[in-house]
Amino acid sequence: MADTGFKFSRLGGGGGDDQGGEGKGSQEAFAGNIESRPAGDSSTNPMMTMVLGNGQGARGSVKAVRRTTLLMMALVGVICLLAVVLSGLALSRVMSIETSEKTWTFALGQSNLVLHYIDGKTLQMDGFDVEMVQAVCHVAGKKCEIVTDQRTNCWKSQNGSPATGGEGLYGGWYDACAGWSQTPERRRAFAFTEPYTKPFPSAFFTLNASPGKSSFDTSDMQGKKIGFLDGYASDEHCLNRQDNIQGLPLKTEQIFHYLTPADAEAGLRTNQVHAIYTTKYVSMADASPVEGKSFNCSTRGLSIMTRKDSGLEDWWNPAWEQIFHSTYYHVLCQTLVIRHGLFPGLNVEDICLQFT
């Protein structure tokens, strides 16, 4: 039996940096007015902050210590429960038909989402996407590794060109790219596993302090310059398909592409563009979605994107079905904030599939 190298993600943690997640995500909704820590800093446990507060009196109180003890016991209980459920699933794992041991590699781009991020202490990838790969590989009896690479090596879209597969996935640098939503364009190029999240809606982002934020008309693109993030499902091709928006298709001079959310936000600040059209979970420090029309550029939620000749979905999907129809997936969803702390990201209700 192959050593899957399965591990459980750390408790707590926090940080932030690039691609993403709404600053109004699940952790913020859960934790209320708790302040986020600097990017990549996991030196303090947000659960401790939540329990003890910021005042010296709260830290020293016997009541706070008791609450902390109870919370830590609860965290240990969650980890034990996940371990027991996953071990039970592994007993009925689908046996490998490979004649030799193979290490399956899954690429993830650097992010600060609850979906995936680099742990500030271990410098390893962690998050919901990572846990899905670890769990499915464990149940399927496969040896798997997470590798990091630029998103555009999985899928890229540049101004004036149709979106295409990235050279990393096409060229066999790795077997698959984890955490990619399904679109008609992507499905023509690659194969996908069954999704493990809901599809995420798209939205127009403008600066919070912009005097025109409340007046930005999402139903009319005439004369407006719009920014997009390279490789995202919410691109100009998706926007141009919307038949209930005037002023489409966009002209070439109306389209601007950016590599990161920070670059896109800079485009807003310099008035290079009027708005950014992207997936709603993207996080920008001083920009947020505009009230108005929202679309879904993805046909299905986050999945594993792989080459059509890889055969990965043949063993992934049966193992995933076992996980989804057990308690493991749902415990994982309900304890997302406890395990990953104050990272930006969607609410659990926005991420997780409903049990059927």
Could you give the domains of the chain?
26-198+299-351 (3.40.190.10), 202-289 (3.40.190.10)
Distance of CA 8 to the CA centre of its chain: 18
Per DSSP, helices labelled H in the chain are 26-31, 46-52, 56-60, 62-91, 128-140, 167-170, 184-189, 236-240, 261-269, 312-324, 328-334, 336-340, 348-351
Mean pLDDT of 277-299: 88
Give the least confident one: 31-35, 218-222, 323-327, 339-343: 31-35
pLDDT at residue 312 tops 90: yes
pLDDT at residue 65 tops 90: no
Return the amino acid letter for 100. Answer: S
Phi and psi dihedrals of 106, rounded to 5? -125, 125
Phi and psi dihedrals of 103, rounded to 5? -100, 115
pLDDT at residue 273 tops 70: yes
pLDDT at residue 319 tops 90: yes
Phi and psi dihedrals of 10, rounded to 5? -65, 165
Split at pLDDT 50, 70, 90, the class of 47 is very low
